[in-house]
Amino acid sequence: MTSSSQTIAPEAPPHQLDIQAVIDRQRSIRPHLPLLVLMTFIMLIDGYDIFMLGKIAPAMAKDFGEPVTALTIVFVVQQIGLAAGSFLVGPLSDRYGRKKVLLICVVIFGLLTLGPIWASSLVEVAILRGIAGLFLAGVIPNAAAMLTEFAPPHRRASFVSIAFTGYTAGGASGALVAMWLLDDYGWEIGFWIGGLAPLIIAPFFALLTNESLQFRARRNPSDPQIAKALKRLEPDLNLEGISHFRIGGEDARGEGKKSEGGVLAIFQNGRAPTTTLLWVAYFLALGLISLLGAWMATLFLELGGIPLSVWAGYSLLSFVGGVAGTSSVGFLMDRFGRAPILIGLFLTDAVALAMLGMVPFGSGAFIVMIVLWGYCQAGGQAGLNAICAQVYPTQIRASGVGWAFGMGRVGGIAMPAVGGLMLAGEISMTQVFLILAVFPVLVAIALVGIGWLDARGRLGK
Protein backbone atom coordinates (compact mmCIF):
# COMPACT_ATOMS: atom_id res chain seq x y z
CA MET A 1 0.00 0.00 0.00
CA THR A 2 1.47 3.29 -0.97
CA SER A 3 0.80 6.50 0.86
CA SER A 4 1.08 9.92 -0.43
CA SER A 5 1.97 12.93 1.63
CA GLN A 6 1.26 16.51 0.81
CA THR A 7 3.87 19.08 1.52
CA ILE A 8 2.39 22.39 2.55
CA ALA A 9 4.50 25.29 1.48
CA PRO A 10 4.92 28.03 4.04
CA GLU A 11 2.86 31.11 3.46
CA ALA A 12 4.72 33.76 1.54
CA PRO A 13 5.52 36.78 3.65
CA PRO A 14 3.42 39.81 2.87
CA HIS A 15 4.90 42.52 0.74
CA GLN A 16 6.34 45.03 3.17
CA LEU A 17 7.30 48.68 3.05
CA ASP A 18 9.61 50.49 5.43
CA ILE A 19 7.72 53.66 6.39
CA GLN A 20 10.79 55.08 8.13
CA ALA A 21 12.68 55.05 4.84
CA VAL A 22 9.87 57.04 3.21
CA ILE A 23 9.89 59.62 6.01
CA ASP A 24 13.69 59.87 6.05
CA ARG A 25 13.98 60.74 2.38
CA GLN A 26 11.50 63.63 2.48
CA ARG A 27 12.92 67.02 1.52
CA SER A 28 9.82 69.21 1.29
CA ILE A 29 8.29 70.55 4.50
CA ARG A 30 4.94 71.29 2.84
CA PRO A 31 3.24 68.02 3.95
CA HIS A 32 4.35 68.71 7.53
CA LEU A 33 3.26 72.36 7.72
CA PRO A 34 -0.27 71.78 9.15
CA LEU A 35 1.17 69.70 11.99
CA LEU A 36 4.07 72.08 12.62
CA VAL A 37 1.88 75.21 12.62
CA LEU A 38 -0.88 73.74 14.78
CA MET A 39 1.62 72.20 17.20
CA THR A 40 3.37 75.55 17.53
CA PHE A 41 0.06 77.22 18.39
CA ILE A 42 -0.81 74.49 20.90
CA MET A 43 2.61 74.92 22.48
CA LEU A 44 1.99 78.67 22.63
CA ILE A 45 -1.27 78.10 24.50
CA ASP A 46 0.43 75.60 26.81
CA GLY A 47 3.24 78.03 27.63
CA TYR A 48 0.77 80.85 28.20
CA ASP A 49 -1.42 78.80 30.54
CA ILE A 50 1.52 77.57 32.60
CA PHE A 51 3.28 80.92 33.06
CA MET A 52 0.36 83.36 32.88
CA LEU A 53 -0.24 83.14 36.62
CA GLY A 54 3.14 84.65 37.44
CA LYS A 55 2.34 87.75 35.38
CA ILE A 56 -0.94 88.50 37.15
CA ALA A 57 -0.12 87.15 40.63
CA PRO A 58 0.10 90.49 42.50
CA ALA A 59 -3.23 91.73 41.07
CA MET A 60 -4.87 88.40 41.85
CA ALA A 61 -3.60 88.36 45.44
CA LYS A 62 -4.82 91.92 45.99
CA ASP A 63 -8.30 91.06 44.73
CA PHE A 64 -8.50 88.11 47.13
CA GLY A 65 -7.24 90.29 50.00
CA GLU A 66 -4.11 88.19 50.49
CA PRO A 67 -0.36 88.98 50.46
CA VAL A 68 1.37 87.99 47.25
CA THR A 69 3.29 85.25 49.08
CA ALA A 70 -0.06 83.51 49.69
CA LEU A 71 -0.03 82.53 46.01
CA THR A 72 2.86 80.16 46.73
CA ILE A 73 0.34 77.37 47.30
CA VAL A 74 -1.15 77.97 43.85
CA PHE A 75 2.24 77.78 42.14
CA VAL A 76 3.25 74.67 44.08
CA VAL A 77 -0.01 72.77 43.50
CA GLN A 78 0.09 73.64 39.80
CA GLN A 79 3.60 72.18 39.63
CA ILE A 80 2.44 69.04 41.43
CA GLY A 81 -0.24 68.62 38.78
CA LEU A 82 2.28 69.18 36.00
CA ALA A 83 4.66 66.64 37.52
CA ALA A 84 1.99 63.98 38.00
CA GLY A 85 0.68 64.59 34.49
CA SER A 86 4.14 64.24 32.96
CA PHE A 87 4.61 60.84 34.58
CA LEU A 88 1.13 59.61 33.61
CA VAL A 89 0.49 61.00 30.14
CA GLY A 90 3.64 59.72 28.39
CA PRO A 91 2.89 56.00 28.96
CA LEU A 92 -0.77 56.56 28.02
CA SER A 93 0.31 58.20 24.75
CA ASP A 94 2.65 55.32 23.92
CA ARG A 95 -0.29 52.97 24.43
CA TYR A 96 -3.27 54.84 22.96
CA GLY A 97 -1.72 57.29 20.50
CA ARG A 98 -0.14 60.74 20.56
CA LYS A 99 -2.89 62.60 18.74
CA LYS A 100 -5.79 61.15 20.72
CA VAL A 101 -4.23 61.81 24.12
CA LEU A 102 -3.03 65.29 23.13
CA LEU A 103 -6.49 66.28 21.87
CA ILE A 104 -8.11 65.16 25.12
CA CYS A 105 -5.53 67.09 27.14
CA VAL A 106 -6.05 70.30 25.16
CA VAL A 107 -9.84 70.25 25.57
CA ILE A 108 -9.81 69.42 29.28
CA PHE A 109 -7.14 71.90 30.34
CA GLY A 110 -9.02 74.57 28.38
CA LEU A 111 -12.19 73.91 30.36
CA LEU A 112 -10.34 73.75 33.68
CA THR A 113 -8.49 77.01 33.02
CA LEU A 114 -11.83 78.83 32.97
CA GLY A 115 -12.61 77.58 36.49
CA PRO A 116 -10.64 80.11 38.60
CA ILE A 117 -12.75 82.94 37.19
CA TRP A 118 -15.54 81.83 39.54
CA ALA A 119 -13.34 80.67 42.45
CA SER A 120 -14.04 82.17 45.89
CA SER A 121 -10.63 81.51 47.47
CA LEU A 122 -7.00 80.89 46.57
CA VAL A 123 -7.40 77.30 47.79
CA GLU A 124 -10.03 76.72 45.11
CA VAL A 125 -7.75 78.32 42.53
CA ALA A 126 -4.90 76.04 43.65
CA ILE A 127 -7.06 72.90 43.30
CA LEU A 128 -8.26 73.89 39.83
CA ARG A 129 -4.73 74.73 38.67
CA GLY A 130 -3.44 71.44 40.06
CA ILE A 131 -6.00 69.42 38.11
CA ALA A 132 -5.40 71.51 34.99
CA GLY A 133 -1.69 70.81 35.37
CA LEU A 134 -2.35 67.09 34.86
CA PHE A 135 -3.52 67.85 31.33
CA LEU A 136 -1.22 70.79 30.55
CA ALA A 137 1.64 68.33 31.08
CA GLY A 138 0.42 66.21 28.18
CA VAL A 139 1.28 68.75 25.50
CA ILE A 140 5.09 68.72 25.40
CA PRO A 141 5.73 64.93 25.40
CA ASN A 142 3.20 64.37 22.63
CA ALA A 143 4.33 67.37 20.60
CA ALA A 144 7.96 66.27 20.78
CA ALA A 145 7.06 62.68 19.91
CA MET A 146 4.81 63.56 16.95
CA LEU A 147 7.21 66.09 15.45
CA THR A 148 10.19 63.77 15.84
CA GLU A 149 8.32 60.88 14.23
CA PHE A 150 6.95 62.88 11.30
CA ALA A 151 10.14 64.81 10.50
CA PRO A 152 13.06 63.40 8.50
CA PRO A 153 16.35 63.10 10.45
CA HIS A 154 17.88 66.32 9.12
CA ARG A 155 14.88 68.34 10.35
CA ARG A 156 14.00 66.72 13.68
CA ALA A 157 15.85 69.07 15.99
CA SER A 158 14.67 72.04 13.94
CA PHE A 159 11.00 70.98 14.03
CA VAL A 160 11.04 70.51 17.80
CA SER A 161 12.83 73.81 18.39
CA ILE A 162 10.43 75.70 16.08
CA ALA A 163 7.45 74.36 18.00
CA PHE A 164 9.09 75.45 21.23
CA THR A 165 9.22 78.95 19.83
CA GLY A 166 5.47 78.87 20.41
CA TYR A 167 6.00 77.72 24.00
CA THR A 168 8.42 80.58 24.60
CA ALA A 169 6.02 83.06 23.01
CA GLY A 170 3.21 81.75 25.17
CA GLY A 171 5.27 82.13 28.33
CA ALA A 172 6.01 85.74 27.45
CA SER A 173 2.55 86.66 26.15
CA GLY A 174 1.18 86.89 29.66
CA ALA A 175 3.18 90.12 29.88
CA LEU A 176 0.98 91.57 27.13
CA VAL A 177 -2.08 90.76 29.20
CA ALA A 178 -0.52 92.50 32.20
CA MET A 179 0.40 95.55 30.10
CA TRP A 180 -2.74 96.03 28.01
CA LEU A 181 -5.67 94.25 29.60
CA LEU A 182 -5.10 93.79 33.32
CA ASP A 183 -6.10 97.29 34.42
CA ASP A 184 -9.30 97.33 32.37
CA TYR A 185 -10.53 93.76 32.75
CA GLY A 186 -8.90 92.46 35.93
CA TRP A 187 -6.90 89.30 36.48
CA GLU A 188 -9.81 87.18 35.19
CA ILE A 189 -8.95 88.11 31.59
CA GLY A 190 -5.84 85.97 31.83
CA PHE A 191 -7.95 82.89 32.50
CA TRP A 192 -10.57 83.76 29.86
CA ILE A 193 -7.84 83.84 27.21
CA GLY A 194 -6.11 80.73 28.54
CA GLY A 195 -9.34 78.74 28.63
CA LEU A 196 -10.99 79.74 25.36
CA ALA A 197 -7.89 79.55 23.10
CA PRO A 198 -7.38 75.76 23.42
CA LEU A 199 -11.08 75.11 22.88
CA ILE A 200 -10.92 77.09 19.63
CA ILE A 201 -7.84 75.34 18.25
CA ALA A 202 -8.82 71.77 19.25
CA PRO A 203 -11.22 71.17 16.27
CA PHE A 204 -8.56 72.32 13.78
CA PHE A 205 -6.02 69.94 15.31
CA ALA A 206 -8.53 67.09 15.19
CA LEU A 207 -9.37 67.63 11.51
CA LEU A 208 -6.02 68.65 9.98
CA THR A 209 -3.46 66.31 11.53
CA ASN A 210 -2.78 62.57 11.47
CA GLU A 211 -1.69 60.09 14.07
CA SER A 212 2.00 59.16 14.09
CA LEU A 213 2.74 56.66 11.31
CA GLN A 214 5.15 54.75 13.56
CA PHE A 215 2.45 54.38 16.19
CA ARG A 216 -0.07 53.18 13.59
CA ALA A 217 2.39 50.63 12.22
CA ARG A 218 3.06 49.21 15.67
CA ARG A 219 -0.63 48.99 16.50
CA ASN A 220 -1.70 47.54 13.14
CA PRO A 221 0.93 47.07 10.39
CA SER A 222 -1.81 46.63 7.78
CA ASP A 223 -3.75 49.78 8.74
CA PRO A 224 -5.05 51.30 5.45
CA GLN A 225 -4.68 54.79 6.91
CA ILE A 226 -0.90 54.36 6.75
CA ALA A 227 -0.99 54.08 2.98
CA LYS A 228 -3.15 57.20 2.66
CA ALA A 229 -0.79 59.19 4.89
CA LEU A 230 2.26 58.00 2.96
CA LYS A 231 0.67 59.08 -0.32
CA ARG A 232 0.21 62.55 1.12
CA LEU A 233 3.90 62.63 1.96
CA GLU A 234 5.00 61.22 -1.40
CA PRO A 235 2.25 61.29 -4.07
CA ASP A 236 4.32 59.24 -6.57
CA LEU A 237 4.97 56.44 -4.08
CA ASN A 238 4.13 53.02 -5.55
CA LEU A 239 2.13 51.05 -2.99
CA GLU A 240 0.84 48.37 -5.35
CA GLY A 241 0.92 45.01 -3.61
CA ILE A 242 1.92 46.48 -0.26
CA SER A 243 -0.08 44.90 2.55
CA HIS A 244 2.09 45.47 5.60
CA PHE A 245 4.24 48.30 6.87
CA ARG A 246 7.30 48.13 9.07
CA ILE A 247 9.58 50.58 10.89
CA GLY A 248 13.27 50.32 10.07
CA GLY A 249 14.56 46.85 10.92
CA GLU A 250 11.34 45.58 12.45
CA ASP A 251 9.29 42.97 10.66
CA ALA A 252 5.91 43.53 9.09
CA ARG A 253 4.03 42.81 12.27
CA GLY A 254 6.13 45.21 14.30
CA GLU A 255 7.70 42.44 16.35
CA GLY A 256 11.30 43.65 16.21
CA LYS A 257 11.49 46.14 19.03
CA LYS A 258 7.84 46.10 19.98
CA SER A 259 8.43 43.92 23.01
CA GLU A 260 10.67 46.61 24.44
CA GLY A 261 8.13 48.84 26.07
CA GLY A 262 6.95 50.21 29.36
CA VAL A 263 8.48 52.86 31.54
CA LEU A 264 11.35 50.65 32.72
CA ALA A 265 12.58 50.46 29.12
CA ILE A 266 13.95 54.00 29.41
CA PHE A 267 16.66 52.48 31.63
CA GLN A 268 17.26 49.35 29.54
CA ASN A 269 19.67 48.58 26.69
CA GLY A 270 22.33 51.01 27.87
CA ARG A 271 19.98 53.98 28.32
CA ALA A 272 20.34 54.29 32.11
CA PRO A 273 23.25 56.81 32.11
CA THR A 274 21.58 59.01 29.50
CA THR A 275 18.20 58.89 31.25
CA THR A 276 19.77 59.73 34.62
CA LEU A 277 21.69 62.72 33.27
CA LEU A 278 18.64 63.98 31.38
CA TRP A 279 16.59 63.76 34.56
CA VAL A 280 19.17 65.81 36.46
CA ALA A 281 19.29 68.42 33.69
CA TYR A 282 15.49 68.65 33.45
CA PHE A 283 15.07 68.84 37.24
CA LEU A 284 17.37 71.85 37.41
CA ALA A 285 16.44 73.59 34.15
CA LEU A 286 12.66 73.35 34.38
CA GLY A 287 12.75 74.00 38.10
CA LEU A 288 14.52 77.29 37.46
CA ILE A 289 12.12 78.24 34.66
CA SER A 290 9.19 77.58 36.98
CA LEU A 291 10.72 79.70 39.72
CA LEU A 292 11.44 82.63 37.43
CA GLY A 293 8.06 82.37 35.72
CA ALA A 294 6.32 82.50 39.08
CA TRP A 295 8.35 85.16 40.86
CA MET A 296 10.37 87.30 38.43
CA ALA A 297 7.82 90.11 38.25
CA THR A 298 7.34 90.05 42.01
CA LEU A 299 11.10 90.02 42.68
CA PHE A 300 11.57 93.22 40.70
CA LEU A 301 8.49 94.77 42.32
CA GLU A 302 9.36 93.92 45.92
CA LEU A 303 13.16 94.19 45.80
CA GLY A 304 13.61 96.84 43.12
CA GLY A 305 10.42 98.85 43.28
CA ILE A 306 9.73 98.23 39.57
CA PRO A 307 5.97 98.44 38.73
CA LEU A 308 4.41 95.40 37.12
CA SER A 309 3.57 97.26 33.92
CA VAL A 310 7.17 98.51 33.57
CA TRP A 311 8.62 95.05 34.17
CA ALA A 312 6.15 93.55 31.71
CA GLY A 313 7.48 95.82 28.98
CA TYR A 314 11.10 94.88 29.63
CA SER A 315 10.23 91.19 29.95
CA LEU A 316 9.16 91.26 26.31
CA LEU A 317 12.85 91.72 25.50
CA SER A 318 13.48 88.29 27.00
CA PHE A 319 10.75 87.00 24.71
CA VAL A 320 12.64 88.37 21.69
CA GLY A 321 15.74 86.56 22.87
CA GLY A 322 13.74 83.42 23.64
CA VAL A 323 12.21 83.24 20.18
CA ALA A 324 15.65 83.66 18.63
CA GLY A 325 17.02 80.95 20.90
CA THR A 326 14.32 78.35 20.31
CA SER A 327 14.21 78.93 16.56
CA SER A 328 17.98 78.74 16.07
CA VAL A 329 19.17 76.12 18.56
CA GLY A 330 18.13 73.18 16.38
CA PHE A 331 20.20 74.45 13.45
CA LEU A 332 23.16 75.16 15.73
CA MET A 333 23.00 71.69 17.25
CA ASP A 334 22.81 70.05 13.81
CA ARG A 335 25.81 72.08 12.68
CA PHE A 336 28.13 72.17 15.71
CA GLY A 337 27.03 69.28 17.89
CA ARG A 338 24.37 68.82 20.52
CA ALA A 339 26.20 68.92 23.85
CA PRO A 340 28.78 71.67 23.08
CA ILE A 341 26.06 74.12 22.06
CA LEU A 342 23.91 73.38 25.09
CA ILE A 343 26.80 73.58 27.56
CA GLY A 344 27.71 77.00 26.18
CA LEU A 345 24.11 78.18 26.37
CA PHE A 346 23.61 77.23 30.01
CA LEU A 347 26.93 78.71 31.13
CA THR A 348 26.08 81.96 29.36
CA ASP A 349 22.61 81.80 30.93
CA ALA A 350 24.25 81.74 34.38
CA VAL A 351 26.33 84.84 33.62
CA ALA A 352 23.36 86.78 32.23
CA LEU A 353 21.14 85.83 35.15
CA ALA A 354 23.72 86.94 37.72
CA MET A 355 24.20 90.24 35.92
CA LEU A 356 20.45 91.02 35.94
CA GLY A 357 20.73 91.47 39.70
CA MET A 358 23.79 93.72 39.46
CA VAL A 359 23.36 96.17 36.58
CA PRO A 360 20.95 99.12 36.85
CA PHE A 361 17.40 98.31 35.78
CA GLY A 362 16.62 99.71 32.33
CA SER A 363 20.25 100.44 31.44
CA GLY A 364 21.84 99.36 28.19
CA ALA A 365 23.66 96.57 30.00
CA PHE A 366 20.37 95.40 31.53
CA ILE A 367 18.74 95.25 28.10
CA VAL A 368 21.64 93.19 26.71
CA MET A 369 21.54 90.81 29.68
CA ILE A 370 17.78 90.25 29.57
CA VAL A 371 17.86 89.46 25.85
CA LEU A 372 20.83 87.14 26.38
CA TRP A 373 19.13 85.46 29.32
CA GLY A 374 15.98 84.88 27.27
CA TYR A 375 18.00 83.46 24.37
CA CYS A 376 19.99 81.05 26.51
CA GLN A 377 17.18 79.90 28.78
CA ALA A 378 14.68 79.20 26.01
CA GLY A 379 17.26 77.90 23.54
CA GLY A 380 18.83 75.65 26.15
CA GLN A 381 15.50 74.09 27.13
CA ALA A 382 14.47 73.61 23.50
CA GLY A 383 17.81 71.91 22.86
CA LEU A 384 17.28 69.57 25.79
CA ASN A 385 13.85 68.67 24.41
CA ALA A 386 15.27 67.94 20.97
CA ILE A 387 17.89 65.60 22.44
CA CYS A 388 15.38 63.85 24.68
CA ALA A 389 12.93 63.20 21.85
CA GLN A 390 15.67 61.60 19.74
CA VAL A 391 17.18 59.40 22.47
CA TYR A 392 14.23 57.04 22.80
CA PRO A 393 12.66 54.78 20.15
CA THR A 394 9.04 55.15 19.06
CA GLN A 395 7.51 52.66 21.48
CA ILE A 396 8.79 54.55 24.55
CA ARG A 397 9.39 58.04 23.15
CA ALA A 398 6.44 59.77 24.84
CA SER A 399 7.26 57.96 28.09
CA GLY A 400 10.91 59.02 27.91
CA VAL A 401 10.11 62.66 27.22
CA GLY A 402 7.20 62.68 29.67
CA TRP A 403 9.22 61.27 32.55
CA ALA A 404 12.09 63.66 31.90
CA PHE A 405 9.61 66.52 32.06
CA GLY A 406 8.12 64.91 35.16
CA MET A 407 11.48 65.21 36.89
CA GLY A 408 11.64 68.82 35.72
CA ARG A 409 8.21 69.45 37.20
CA VAL A 410 9.36 67.93 40.49
CA GLY A 411 12.09 70.55 40.47
CA GLY A 412 9.40 73.10 39.73
CA ILE A 413 7.48 72.07 42.84
CA ALA A 414 10.33 73.03 45.18
CA MET A 415 11.71 76.11 43.47
CA PRO A 416 8.64 78.39 43.53
CA ALA A 417 8.63 77.83 47.29
CA VAL A 418 12.28 78.90 47.33
CA GLY A 419 11.25 82.15 45.63
CA GLY A 420 8.79 82.84 48.41
CA LEU A 421 11.43 82.08 51.02
CA MET A 422 13.92 84.46 49.40
CA LEU A 423 11.34 87.24 49.46
CA ALA A 424 10.46 86.53 53.07
CA GLY A 425 14.16 86.45 53.98
CA GLU A 426 14.62 90.01 52.74
CA ILE A 427 17.93 89.38 50.98
CA SER A 428 19.20 91.78 48.35
CA MET A 429 18.50 91.69 44.62
CA THR A 430 22.15 90.86 43.91
CA GLN A 431 22.15 87.94 46.34
CA VAL A 432 18.91 86.55 44.90
CA PHE A 433 20.20 86.49 41.33
CA LEU A 434 23.59 85.06 42.30
CA ILE A 435 21.75 82.16 43.94
CA LEU A 436 19.61 81.70 40.84
CA ALA A 437 22.71 81.64 38.61
CA VAL A 438 23.98 78.48 40.31
CA PHE A 439 21.30 76.32 38.71
CA PRO A 440 22.25 76.72 35.01
CA VAL A 441 25.87 75.98 35.97
CA LEU A 442 24.74 72.66 37.44
CA VAL A 443 22.77 71.91 34.26
CA ALA A 444 25.94 72.53 32.23
CA ILE A 445 27.80 70.01 34.39
CA ALA A 446 25.14 67.37 33.67
CA LEU A 447 25.44 68.18 29.98
CA VAL A 448 29.18 67.48 30.11
CA GLY A 449 28.24 63.89 30.95
CA ILE A 450 25.69 63.81 28.14
CA GLY A 451 28.36 65.15 25.77
CA TRP A 452 30.69 62.35 26.82
CA LEU A 453 28.00 59.79 25.96
CA ASP A 454 27.25 61.55 22.68
CA ALA A 455 30.89 61.49 21.63
CA ARG A 456 30.97 57.73 22.14
CA GLY A 457 27.73 57.09 20.26
CA ARG A 458 25.79 56.16 23.38
CA LEU A 459 23.34 59.05 23.48
CA GLY A 460 20.85 57.76 20.92
CA LYS A 461 19.63 58.87 17.54
Q: Where are the domains of the chain?
A: 17-221+255-455
pLDDT by residue for the chain (461 residues), tens only, comes to 444 444 444 444 457 888 888 888 877 777 788 899 999 999 999 999 988 887 888 889 889 998 888 888 898 888 889 889 989 988 899 889 999 999 999 999 999 999 999 999 999 999 999 999 999 999 988 998 898 888 877 777 778 888 888 887 887 788 788 778 888 899 999 999 999 999 999 999 999 998 888 888 888 888 888 888 888 888 888 877 777 888 765 544 444 444 455 678 888 888 889 899 999 999 999 889 888 877 888 888 888 888 877 887 888 788 889 889 988 888 888 778 778 899 999 999 999 999 999 999 989 999 999 999 999 998 999 889 888 888 888 788 888 989 998 898 888 777 777 777 787 777 888 888 999 999 999 999 999 998 888 777 666 54
CATH number of 17-221+255-455: 1.20.1250.20
Which pLDDT belongs to residue 79?
81
Which pLDDT belongs to residue 284?
93
Which pLDDT belongs to residue 6?
46
- Rounded Cα gap, residues 43 and 333, in angstroms: 21
Which pLDDT belongs to residue 131?
96
Neighbours of 111 (CB within 10 A): 13
